[in-house]
Amino acid sequence: MLFRNGTTTDAERVAALHTASWRTAYAELMPGAYLDGPLREEHLAKWRARTADPEGRWLLLAEEGQELRGFIHLVVAADGRVHVDNLHARPGHLGTGIGGRLLRHGFRWAAAEHPGRDVYLEVLRGNERAIGFYERQGGVRTAERPVRLTADLVLDEIEYSWSAATVGAFAAS
């Protein structure tokens, strides 16, 4: 498995994996018309913008041969914590350890670039596979709130956090 920093040339591959992941993980949580409709274009626009302006963020890709197997994207949030904005493994490769390896790389980046800061992420309620994964990784449920995904799509999300000390311990392992 090769891990490397993502660049502008990776935006389309990242968007495609992001979309495939959502279509699999959220098939029972989001309307099919949204997942099969504008989602791909929204993700592509998002990843083109993010990779064009990498300041304050980090995108790490996991590749096997020519296939993108997963990615993690972190950014410093307005409150000073490090936000795991996205963590995805390619459908069909879930449970192979890619997510855990990417998360640990993310913790190393956070500890090195933003020492002393907590790390957090959000996951949609109902995404039981991801919830179980974050709990096995030591994430602590710290908040729950609604999130507006589109004008007429509001779902509940759960926040998981890792203290700066926990992040440092994971980064050192």
* Cα separations in angstroms, 138 against 38, 87, 100: 34, 16, 11
CATH number for the domain harbouring residue 167 = 3.40.630.30
Residue 157, strand partner residues: 124, 145
The model's pLDDT over 77-129, given as tens digits with 9 standing for 90+, comes to 999 999 999 999 998 867 778 999 999 999 999 999 999 999 999 999 999 99
pTM (2 decimals)? 0.92
Reported as half-sphere exposure (CB side, CA atoms, 13 A), residue 89 has a value of 16
Which residue bears the tokens 């020519």? 66
Number of domain units in the chain: 1
Mean pLDDT of the chain: 93
pLDDT more than 70, % of the chain: 99
Range of the domain at 143: 2-172
Model pLDDT, residue 20: 95
* Cα separations in angstroms, 135 against 10, 72, 117: 30, 17, 20
| Rounded Cα–Cα distance for residues 134 and 6 (Å) | 23
Tell me the pairing of strands 140-150 and 153-162: antiparallel
Model pLDDT, residue 2: 92
| Rounded Cα–Cα distance for residues 152 and 173 (Å) | 43
Ramachandran sector of residue 73 (left: φ over 0; alpha: ψ -120 to 50; beta: rest)? beta
Model pLDDT, residue 59: 97
Reported as half-sphere exposure (CB side, CA atoms, 13 A), residue 140 has a value of 9
The model's pLDDT over 4-22, given as tens digits with 9 standing for 90+, comes to 999 999 999 999 999 999 9
| Strands laid side by side in the 119-124 sheet | 2-5, 57-64, 67-76, 82-89, 119-124, 153-162, 140-150
